[in-house]
Chain A
């Protein structure tokens, strides 16, 4: 089993780095080529959400990402935001999306969750170890 851990300051500019690392590790682990775009998008969405939460709560703690391959390719993105785990994660129905009163932040979060749920068959959202924060775990199959 290989494990790659990454932690980064909660700034938007670093989300791209996390995406690139996540896809590179996925490719090396043996995730099917056709899934890599979805891996890239899902890791980006999970990290974007974590960065946004840290900024909303004025947290300078790093966002943590752990990638591992042990029969499957698993990516865990952990934030330290003091909210009920995953409380912000809910899909918006289509009629809500273009509602004038809906803020861009709420819309982006809802759309981000729709992308996570749509692109990750094996998605788990739970409280982070230690109780504060959320862990978003995404798992993809390996080819070999």
Chain B
């Protein structure tokens, strides 16, 4: 399945819903999308991984890059993920200690 991206605004957050496969082929598209948001002045980003059915190290690298950029700019970045296969990926890579992970968009945005 190809990558799908949809962005909406929840309060001060841009919520990006990602679907499909995030891999070495599609990760550049994800990076471009998220960096465009930051370049446009968005400071608080939530990426919802609820519709992602494949995520590899390249996709994780993009997410860390976005986290760093937002942190440097004084913004915030969080992930929404409640599916065990993806959560296991974050645990194995220790990235669960790097990203704020929430089970729902509401929890991530404090709504």
A interface vs B, CB < 8 Å? Answer: 12-13, 15-16, 37, 40-41, 44-45, 48, 51-52, 92-94, 97-98, 100, 104-105, 107-109, 111-112, 114-115, 118-119
Give B70 Cβ to nearest chain A Cβ, in Å.
12
Interface size on B, residues (CB 8 A): 24
A98 touches B56 (CB 8 A): no
Q: Which residues on B sit within 8 Å (CB–CB) of A13?
A: 25
Q: Which residues on A sit within 8 Å (CB–CB) of B21?
A: 16
B58, B89, B98 interface centre (most CB from chain A within 10 Å) = B58
Partner of A112, one of B56, B72, B94: B56
B64 touches A37 (CB 8 A): no
A40 vs B85: C-alpha distance in the bound complex, in angstroms? 12
Give B5 Cβ to nearest chain A Cβ, in Å.
18
A sample of 18 cross-chain residue pairs with beta-carbon separation below 8 angstroms, ordered by A number, consists of: A13-B25, A15-B23, A15-B25, A41-B56, A44-B54, A48-B58, A92-B94, A94-B94, A97-B93, A97-B95, A97-B97, A98-B64, A98-B68, A104-B62, A107-B64, A108-B58, A111-B93, A115-B56
Q: Which residues on A sit within 8 Å (CB–CB) of B58?
A: 48, 108, 112
Q: Which residues on A sit within 8 Å (CB–CB) of B68?
A: 98, 100
Interface string of B48-60 (1 = CB under 8 A from A): 0000001011101
B111 at the interface (CB under 8 A from A): no
Q: Which residues on B sit within 8 Å (CB–CB) of A105?
A: 61
Partner of B67, one of A12, A92, A98, A115: A98
A126 vs B64: C-alpha distance in the bound complex, in angstroms? 30
A44 vs B95: C-alpha distance in the bound complex, in angstroms? 19
Q: Which residues on B sit within 8 Å (CB–CB) of A109?
A: 57
A114 vs B92: C-alpha distance in the bound complex, in angstroms? 7
Give B81 Cβ to nearest chain A Cβ, in Å.
15
A109 vs B64: C-alpha distance in the bound complex, in angstroms? 13
A94-B98, A114-B93, A118-B92 known; A104 and B56 CB under 8 Å? no
Please name the residue on chain B nearest to A100 by beta carbon.
B68
